[in-house]
A and B are shown apart, each in its own frame.
Chain A
Amino acid sequence: MKLAVWTYEGPPHVGAMRIATAMTGLHYVLHAPQGDTYADLLFTMIERRGHRPPVTYTTFQARDLGGDTADLFKASAQDAYDRFQPQAMIVGASCTAELIQDDPGGLARSMGLPIPVIALDLPSYQKKEAWGASETFFQLVRHLAVRGEAPRTPRLEGGRPRCNILGPTALGFHHRDDLVEITRLLTQLGVDINVTAPLGASPADLTRLPDADFNVVLYPEIADVAAKWLEKTYGQPMVRTVPLGDGATRDFIREVAELAHLDPEAALANATARQPWWSRSVDSTYLTGKRVFIFGEANRAIAAARVARDEMGFEVVGLGAYNREFAREMRVAAETYGVPALITDDYLEVERAIADAQPELVLGTQMERHIAKRLRVACAVISAPAHVQDFPARYSPQLGFEGANVLFDTWVHPLVMGLEEHLLAMFRDDFEFNDAAGPSHLGQTAAPAPVDVAPEVSAAPAGPAAIIWSPEAKAELAKIPFFVRGKATRNTEAYAAAQGIALIKVETLYDARSHLAR
């Protein structure tokens, strides 16, 4: 048993729903009690979809448990087939139905429906949402993308190379706009899109997957397993670089060009991202070395760390993910930034790690947004789980060159701006323009409460010999603007510990500053 206050991921059958809802002509019959129908609102409310997810729930009740839940399942599946006439059906159980062991796959097969029926085995007590989505997509591809003896549709002599775009789902974090951006990028590069899946694809479309020359995996947590199977089965190589930020988008273009036997130079020369210049322009100098803590879906967090360090000039002081499936990749990445990889789905543990790292900016999920709010640190949301705010009315991709622009704006916006930062430092005691008022462009709601957190924080991570701040040093520390106070506290304490100083005085603060400046 695990105590969970908030969860990063839903159960695996919600992952399956994200695949079913993304597709057309597919229906999901889910053996589940009535309460599980709450999942519909994720799609109709958070994503504002104008259609119900194509899911039929058996909604069995306690009185059914005596014996006829299997019949109930068959009746539901038959009704769903008759009413919706899907091209294919997926069937499975939610957590409760898994316990009553009715075998939805076997029951559905025994009905002899004239369409492919794919049984999903999603262990609810072991796995989570992203895994469920990945497994469901893989099972669909494995069952439907079967050519048998039929030859691949040959590419026309001299025709354009073709790829599949794999990974975008319903309820995906900015998937809608990423897809527009990447489709345009590939098309301009000279690559045709064979099939995009699961978003917008039908079961019939999945049978055409083998026609492509290669696969583009936009979201490895969804499509990696399916793409690996396609690679093994049909020899389709895959592009796995997540095109997040300018640099990764350029790498992505080169990788695609190589597989497609195209020249990437024209596309690279025409790159439209403003983000590199926005970063190089002197106005952004103040971003240099800002301490940033990154947490989210593993692939996204790893890609964001590169953007943070290489394209924004931040210092990555924490890196982690809630999904264990990519723990190995996460550990390798964390090593390159010299930080330990935080792999946990316990948001309280994440909160502790963020408090300890004392970042100036948190790049995380909606959970970290709340953690940051509590710790009075700036935050931008970079990763699933998707929230209603992650479905903006405007075009707002995260991937590709336009995505790089969006990242720059989204990440910089929560911070205090350059000159404002200097003015705050110069006139700390100004009665109306001080750090307690928060960044001026964010309004009153974003203002941090006038609480000096630094001394409290300093008491917590005390080393073997507790370091004490003298009242004078504490007062001097309070004169430093709030957004660098955490950094100053940490540096001074680290310096004091290294020098064996137990009592931090005003001069210790300045000694530390000069020491670290060298």
Chain B
Amino acid sequence: MSDIVDARGLSCPQPVLMTMEKIKKVKKGEVAILVDTDTSKENVSRAATSQGWKVKGVKPDGTGYKVTITKKVNGE
């Protein structure tokens, strides 16, 4: 079961802010971020990577995307 961040309909930089807030809170595991623009998809992926998370997958979700990011305990 992954944590979900619903950033659909929110403009820059809200999706990234919400993602950062979430990954600071959960520290590891799997987080799914729902976004509705390609810009947000790219920004969220870039931000997660910069925090040592991995983008596990990007799937179309409705008219937007579901970006799944993961981080293991040892930071892999």
> Do these two chains interact?
no
Which residues of B come within 8 Å of A, CB atoms?
A: none
Which residues of A come within 8 Å of B, CB atoms?
A: none
